[in-house]
């Protein structure tokens, strides 16, 4: 096994360094220890300096130079945080307590406590989408990584961790520079991408619960300053991450139904094996310090007023230790929009008694005191919430005096937009971009033989499109057009449509441009005008006249064209998949500040694509399925096809996990250390007989010892048959021989990336836990293991494991 393709790395590194030090229209001087180089290509680009101009004081409590506050027990760092938080809360008046229950918590001057902003965003880079972060002439921007859906396509958990780590460092650097009034970041979004029309699917890691859960844990550990394996931090936080939106939230605004009033009707079975696992992983494995409860109701109960969800499940069952925030104005809608609470005071009582701690908005500030006066709410309920809130602020080190000399106090502005982080953003885009079609090996294009290039489409020269939503100002970016111009000097560009809506297209002019070039690249797809928060799509086709434009240009071009799609959600491009004039298709998501360079590298063979789709691409007829139907499993009686690769029984344009490469890879399941599992019946074990005569037993009754002892190893041989080195994700699935009765068609149980040189082979190993990987949720939401044959599946290779009761 090799660790990298040295030529690709050398090219990419020199390319990035050139970008950092040169431009075709600007001479920008960016601080660096390296001497300025002449580059073989130049770009027109936008850039942001991160020079520290002056020092601004970060907000903190317990100033050691202030004799009036340094003696408070809550400032004593040797005491347990729980004791310190109790001491602080005990010193507050009722009015002061209530003032702290909202996201913009005011200062408490008499105790030396500055104001605090709970709402900051860092979905795929530190952002000013929330009020807690302020960019200025000191630090002007932050590294903008690919939108999460594309990052997930790498199927590389360690890369996800590294991205979280970079975001956490940049967040702390902004705080240390006095540009953050809070260190609680409301990311990641780990809702399941259940429906392809969802405008916020782009923010998630996709449709699979395992992928989403591992992304959550990896990202959270990185942001919070933990090690990849976990267990490094003992209560201290570099920054605080927040799992959102808890739970079953995946509809924003579809055909008159909005997220504020939507009641998600979810079965216990679907909750157990689809909607809840990512949050469980975020808490148990990632040790997230924050949770956001969602706007919607679940089975008639508002998420933020559901004690079973917030207190019983998150805190008692999963061991959550942190704060719970509402989504913004989610408390007000419980009375004002949903009518669940009879009065504003009742809404306040409902959420605080359920276990919520802080309100994004002002509803608690307005109505909590009246609720206390009406004796509907006790002061102890407020104290409980405040204990959680101040505990998190203390874990962030904000009550330990000046941050200089503390655990994360040495993270400076040089960590923001650092060369390391920008290379990581480029790497993430490279590893996420998915090659969907490559007829007759059209790609990669030849650098020497391609004399002229036509770049056509509304997304070709847009930099803003690249960074998606919830993004702050990036360090720098180049557009796809500029990146391609660096390879082919004779590049002609025509947008053909004014916007991606493409209500009118200059087809004839685009055809003329295409006829004159050796190769044509069409940059099409969506942007935030088509899919975003509060905007779900109503169909799955390309907007406006994009399809007409693509077909006409492809027909007129000298050679088969390259189609590049930018989008968060899937698009039905069956026409392009089957059109012989369209030789190659690339899906680039919203690839972040390094995305255009990564795309150009892939198209000209300086990187071998290896991304795989983290979601099913459905055909247009799927729009007949109501977006409001939360059911995952198909129903034969109604014709409901089910959702996601685990249950969907209809036609797919592209399946979950699909993605090709310039190399061909083969797999062989060489060995599994166990092929029969005996569930010996004991006097306390209950055997369940399903209506299809398959016997099963509860996982909870098998016991931890049994589950640990019966873990086994699966070894898989992988070979690269191509002429290029490549990074390739290997996906291991499990399925049952028996179908139907709510069983998944198959389910992902593990994934690893392997880097192989041309002609190289390697063996990788997966741990298989039968209690986890060969079990399924029954109709009561309980995990069971069924007798019969199960199969481990990688590509077309299968290995049977028999379960015997």
Catalytic residues: 327
The string of DSSP codes covering 251-282 is: -SEETTEETTT-EE---HHHIIIIISHHHHHH
Q: 263-264 and 297-298: which strand pairing?
A: parallel
Residues paired with 477 in a beta bridge: 46
Q: Are the C-beta atoms of 385 and 304 separated by less than 8 Å?
A: no
Q: Which helix (H) or strand (E) holds 172?
A: helix 157-176
Q: Are the C-beta atoms of 428 and 653 separated by less than 8 Å?
A: no
Q: Are the C-beta atoms of 287 and 230 separated by less than 8 Å?
A: yes
Q: Are the C-beta atoms of 538 and 200 separated by less than 8 Å?
A: no
Beta strands in 247-370 (DSSP E): 253-254, 257-258, 263-264, 290-293, 297-298, 301-302, 323-326
Question: What burial class does residue 409 get, using C-beta atoms within 10 Å of its C-beta: 0-12 exposed, 13-18 middle, 19+ buried?
Answer: middle
Question: What burial class does residue 448 get, using C-beta atoms within 10 Å of its C-beta: 0-12 exposed, 13-18 middle, 19+ buried?
Answer: exposed
Q: Indicate the DSSP class of residue 311.
A: I
Q: How far apart, in Å, do the first and last CA atoms of the chain sit?
A: 41
Give the span between the Cα atoms of 381 and 604, in whole angstroms. 61
Q: Indicate the DSSP class of residue 75.
A: G
Copy the structure tokens of residue 2: 């090799």
Neighbours of 40 (CB within 10 A): 9
Contacts of 357 (CB under 8 A, 6+ apart): 101, 323, 324, 325, 385, 386, 388, 389
């Amino acid at each position: 096994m090799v660790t990298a393709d040295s030529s690709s790395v050398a090219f990419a590194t020199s390319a990035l360094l050139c970008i950092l030090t040169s431009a075709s229209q600007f001479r920008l001087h960016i601080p660096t220890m390296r001497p300025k180089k002449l580059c073989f290509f130049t770009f027109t680009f936008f850039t942001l300096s991160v020079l520290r101009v002056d020092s601004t004081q970060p907000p903190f409590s317990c100033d050691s130079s202030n004799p009036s506050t340094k003696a408070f027990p809550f400032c004593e760092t040797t005491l347990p945080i729980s004791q310190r938080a109790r001491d602080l809360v005990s010193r507050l008046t009722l009015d002061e307590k209530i003032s702290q229950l909202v996201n913009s918590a005011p200062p408490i001057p008499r105790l030396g406590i500055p104001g605090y902003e709970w709402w900051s965003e860092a979905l795929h880079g530190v952002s000013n989408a929330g009020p807690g972060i302020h960019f200025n002439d000191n630090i002007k921007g932050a590294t903008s990584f690919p939108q999460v859906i594309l990052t997930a396509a790498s199927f590389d958990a360690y890369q996800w961790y590294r991205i979280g780590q970079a975001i956490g460092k940049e967040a702390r650097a902004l705080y240390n520079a006095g540009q953050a009034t809070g260190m609680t970041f409301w990311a990641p979004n780990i809702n399941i991408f259940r429906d392809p029309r969802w405008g916020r699917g782009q923010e998630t890691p996709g449709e699979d619960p395992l992928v989403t859960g591992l992304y959550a844990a990896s990202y959270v550990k990185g942001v919070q300053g933990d090690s990849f394996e976990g267990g490094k931090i003992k209560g201290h936080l570099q920054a605080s991450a927040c799992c959102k939106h808890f739970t079953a939230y995946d509809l924003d605004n579809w055909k008159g139904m909005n997220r504020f009033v939507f009641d998600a009707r979810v079965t216990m079975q679907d909750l157990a094996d689809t909607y809840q696992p990512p949050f469980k992983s975020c808490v148990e494995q990632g040790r997230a310090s924050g949770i956001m409860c969602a706007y919607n109701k679940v089975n008639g109960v508002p998420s933020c007023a559901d004690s079973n969800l917030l207190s019983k499940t998150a805190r008692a069952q999963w061991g959550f230790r942190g704060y719970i925030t509402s989504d913004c104005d989610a408390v007000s809608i419980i009375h004002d929009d949903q009518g669940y609470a009879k009065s504003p005071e009742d809404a306040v009582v409902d959420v605080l008694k359920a276990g919520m701690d802080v309100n994004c908005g002002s509803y608690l500030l307005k109505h909590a005191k009246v609720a206390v006066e009406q004796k509907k709410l006790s002061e102890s309920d407020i104290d409980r919430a405040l204990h959680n809130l101040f505990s998190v602020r203390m874990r962030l080190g904000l009550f330990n005096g000046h941050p200089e000399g503390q655990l994360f106090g040495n993270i400076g502005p040089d960590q923001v937009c650092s060369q390391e982080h920008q290379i990581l953003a480029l790497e993430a885009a490279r590893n996420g971009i998915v090659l969907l079609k490559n007829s007759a090996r059209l790609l990669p294009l030849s650098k020497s033989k391609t004399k002229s290039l036509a770049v056509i489409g509304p997304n070709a020269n847009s930099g803003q499109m690249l960074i998606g939503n919830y993004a702050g100002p990036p360090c720098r970016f180049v557009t796809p057009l500029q990146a391609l111009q660096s390879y082919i000097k004779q590049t002609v560009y025509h947008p053909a449509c004014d916007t991606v809506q493409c209500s009118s297209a200059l087809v004839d002019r685009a055809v003329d441009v295409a006829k004159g070039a050796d190769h044509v690249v069409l940059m099409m797809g969506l942007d935030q005008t088509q899919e975003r928060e509060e905007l779900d799509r109503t169909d799955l086709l390309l907007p406006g006249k994009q399809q007409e434009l693509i077909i006409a240009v492809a027909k007129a071009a000298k050679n088969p064209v390259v189609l590049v799609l930018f989008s968060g959600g899937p698009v039905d491009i069956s026409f392009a998949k089957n059109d012989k004039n369209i030789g190659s298709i690339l899906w680039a998501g919203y690839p972040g500040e390094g995305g255009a360079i990564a795309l150009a590298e892939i198209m000209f063979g300086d990187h071998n694509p290896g991304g795989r789709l983290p979601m099913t691409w459905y055909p247009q007829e799927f729009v007949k399925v109501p977006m409001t139907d939360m059911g995952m499993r198909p129903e034969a009686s109604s014709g409901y096809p089910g959702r996601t690769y685990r249950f969907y029984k209809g036609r797919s344009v592209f399946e979950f996990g699909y993605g090709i490469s310039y190399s061909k890879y083969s797999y062989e399941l060489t060995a599994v250390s166990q092929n029969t599992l005996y569930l010996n019946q004991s006097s306390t074990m209950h055997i369940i007989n399903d209506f299809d005569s398959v016997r099963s037993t509860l996982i909870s009754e098998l016991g931890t010892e049994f589950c640990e002892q019966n873990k086994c190893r699966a070894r898989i041989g992988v070979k690269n048959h191509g002429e290029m080195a490549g990074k390739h994700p290997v996906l291991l699935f499990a399925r049952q021989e028996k179908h139907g009765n709510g069983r998944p068609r198959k389910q992902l149980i593990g994934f690893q990336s392997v880097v192989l040189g041309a002609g190289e082979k390697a063996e990788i190993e997966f741990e298989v836990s039968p209690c986890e990987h060969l079990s399924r949720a029954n109709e009561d939401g309980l995990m069971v293991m069924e007798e019969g044959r199960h199969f481990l599946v990688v590509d077309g290779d299968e290995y049977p494991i028999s379960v015997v009761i």
